[in-house]
């Protein structure tokens, strides 16, 4: 195979700039079909992005003989269903994050793809971005000595004028798996898995303090890695604007690294040599570096850093943090 021809199920907002255009900008890759249940919106997307074909039915896209691999960009509640169908069609699967509603669904997806002998990738694309590659390099090179602990803080104000009768899907647990913790913290916890390896112990607390929607709006966690590194996290989504915070701090025996997951492209390194700031801008299409590595693996000359197995570990950790009774078994 000389080129991977992609189809997208669910060509919504996330695909407009973050991912969709990148499929045709990566060498040996092309976006050839999109699907959305609203036919008019699917046709409009195809027209604006110069995609040859559009569908209003997912099965039609999945079974299109000119689609080699499928990107599932729907909310998590339908990831399992579509993954099973794409795997049954014998095609590689690329699914948005969070991978599914819970770790149990993740395991079903992994098993289906394994039985079909097709790869399963998950859009924890920060693993491929230069800024987070640099953080990992600083840690592994000993820039802060032996790492002792890592601390995550993510505080956001609520969206104004939330309508309880028309809530965003991200705060409807039956569609998203949970609240904004599942949507945003999943990226952060996955990055820690990438930098330090799997989390082996975890405990947490959750609550709904503001009552704006059914999902939790504050979560606290403590966790540990096999290396002995300890970690903690606190996520709150109902603070004032002046309390907005996005900070991950890695503290070692000789210094510390501070970076943002979502709001800044600057890494701060403090050690015996002083304080240094490194700016590594995000790419225009934030998923493009990841898509390039995924395509390279599919063509047999590279390795993709986020698979169903690694993503299922993050789902397991989140399940444990919010108190779901899932065995702490690292995949």
Answer yes or no: is 315 within a domain.
Answer: no
Q: Quick one: 277 and 293 in the same domain?
A: no
Task: Tell me the Ramachandran region of residue 220: left when phi exceeds 0, alpha when psi lies from -120 to 50, beta otherwise.
Answer: beta
Answer yes or no: is 144 within a domain.
Answer: yes
What pLDDT is recorded for position 329?
55
Tens-place pLDDT, residues 117-157: 999 999 999 999 999 999 999 999 999 999 999 999 999 99
Q: Quick one: 22 and 114 in the same domain?
A: yes
Tens-place pLDDT, residues 200-242: 999 999 999 999 999 999 999 999 999 999 999 999 999 999 9
Give the pair of three-digit tokens for residue 57.
């039915």
SS (H, E, C) 63-115: CCCCCCEEEECCCHHHHHHHHHHHHHCCCCEEECCCCCCCHHHHHHHHHHHHH
Answer yes or no: is 318 within a domain.
Answer: no
Q: Quick one: 55 and 23 in the same domain?
A: yes
DSSP symbols for 273-287: TEEEEEE-PPPSSTT
DSSP symbols for 246-264: EEEEEEESS-EEEE-SSS-
CATH of residue 186: 3.30.360.10
Beta bridge mates, 259:
248
Domain count for the chain, please give it. 2
What pLDDT is recorded for position 321?
98
- The answer, yes or no, to whether residue 65 has pLDDT greater than 60, is yes
Q: Quick one: 87 and 151 in the same domain?
A: no
Q: Quick one: 145 and 15 in the same domain?
A: no
Q: Quick one: 277 and 301 in the same domain?
A: no
Tens-place pLDDT, residues 249-277: 999 999 999 999 999 999 999 999 999 99
Q: Quick one: 148 and 53 in the same domain?
A: no
Q: How confident is the model at residue 327 (pLDDT cuts 50, 70, 90)?
A: low
Angle at 247 between CA 175 and CA 125, to 5 degrees: 50
Judge residue 174's burial from the number of C-beta atoms within 10 Å of its C-beta, 0-12 exposed, 13-18 middle, 19 or more buried: exposed
Helices (H), strands (E): how many in the chain?
12, 14
- The answer, yes or no, to whether residue 328 has pLDDT greater than 80, is no
Omega of the bond leading into 98 within 30 degrees of 0 (cis):
yes
Answer yes or no: is 253 within a domain.
Answer: yes
Tens-place pLDDT, residues 4-58: 999 999 999 999 999 999 999 999 999 999 999 999 999 999 999 999 999 999 9
Answer yes or no: is 261 within a domain.
Answer: yes
Strands 4-9 and 69-72: parallel
Within 10 angstroms of residue 216's Cβ, the number of other Cβ atoms is 23
Spatial contact of 61 and 91, defined as CB atoms under 8 Å apart: no
DSSP symbols for 17-56: TTSTTHHHHSTTEEEEEEE-SSHHHHHHHHHHTT-SEEES
Answer yes or no: is 91 within a domain.
Answer: yes
Domain that holds residue 251: 130-281
Answer yes or no: is 330 within a domain.
Answer: no
Q: Quick one: 144 and 87 in the same domain?
A: no
What pLDDT is recorded for position 12?
93
Separation of alpha carbons 205 and 218, rounded Å: 8
Q: Quick one: 203 and 215 in the same domain?
A: yes
CATH of residue 27: 3.40.50.720
Q: Quick one: 108 and 189 in the same domain?
A: no
Q: Quick one: 91 and 205 in the same domain?
A: no
Separation of alpha carbons 255 and 138, rounded Å: 11
CA 105 vs CA 9, 143, 165: distances in Å: 19, 39, 28
pTM for the full predicted model: 0.96
- The answer, yes or no, to whether residue 326 has pLDDT greater than 70, is no
Judge residue 76's burial from the number of C-beta atoms within 10 Å of its C-beta, 0-12 exposed, 13-18 middle, 19 or more buried: buried
Q: Quick one: 120 and 166 in the same domain?
A: no
Contacts for 35 with CB less than 8 Å, ≥ 6 apart: 7, 8, 9, 10, 11, 42, 54, 55, 56, 57, 58, 60, 61
CA 115 vs CA 68, 221, 295: distances in Å: 18, 35, 21
Answer yes or no: is 320 within a domain.
Answer: no
Tens-place pLDDT, residues 160-174: 989 999 999 999 999
């Amino acid at each position: 195979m000389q080129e991977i021809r992609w189809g997208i199920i669910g060509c919504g907002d996330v695909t407009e700039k973050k991912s969709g255009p990148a499929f045709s900008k990566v060498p040996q890759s092309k976006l050839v079909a999109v699907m959305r249940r609203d036919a008019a919106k699917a046709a409009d997307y195809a027209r604006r992005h110069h995609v040859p074909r559009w569908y209003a039915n997912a099965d039609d896209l999945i079974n299109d003989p000119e689609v080699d691999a499928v990107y599932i960009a729907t909310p998590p509640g339908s990831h399992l269903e579509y993954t099973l169908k794409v795997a049954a069609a014998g095609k590689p699967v690329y699914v948005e994050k969070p991978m599914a509603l819970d770790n149990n669904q993740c395991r079903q997806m992994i098993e289906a793809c394994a039985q079909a002998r097709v790869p399963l990738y998950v859009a924890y694309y920060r693993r491929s971005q230069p800024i987070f590659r640099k953080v990992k390099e600083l840690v592994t090179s000993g820039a802060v000595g032996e790492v002792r602990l890592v601390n995550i803080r993510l505080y956001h104000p609520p969206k104004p004028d939330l309508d309880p009768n028309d809530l965003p899907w991200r705060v409807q647990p039956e569609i998203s798996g949970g609240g904004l913790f599942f949507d945003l913290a999943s990226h952060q916890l996955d990055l820690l898995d990438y930098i330090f390896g799997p989390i082996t112990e975890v405990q947490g607390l959750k609550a709904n303090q503001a009552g704006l929607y059914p999902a939790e709006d504050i979560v606290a966690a403590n966790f540990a890695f096999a290396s002995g590194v300890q970690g903690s996290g606190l996520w709150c989504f109902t603070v004032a604007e002046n309390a907005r915070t996005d900070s991950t701090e890695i503290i070692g025996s000789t210094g510390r690294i501070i970076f943002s997951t979502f709001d800044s492209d600057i890494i701060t390194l403090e050690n015996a040599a002083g304080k240094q700031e490194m700016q590594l801008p995000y790419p225009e299409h934030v998923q493009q570096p990841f898509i390039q590595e995924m395509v390279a693996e599919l063509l047999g000359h590279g390795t993709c850093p986020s698979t169903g197995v690694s993503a299922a570990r993050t789902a397991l950790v989140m399940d444990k943090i919010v108190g779901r009774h899932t065995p702490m078994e690292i995949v």
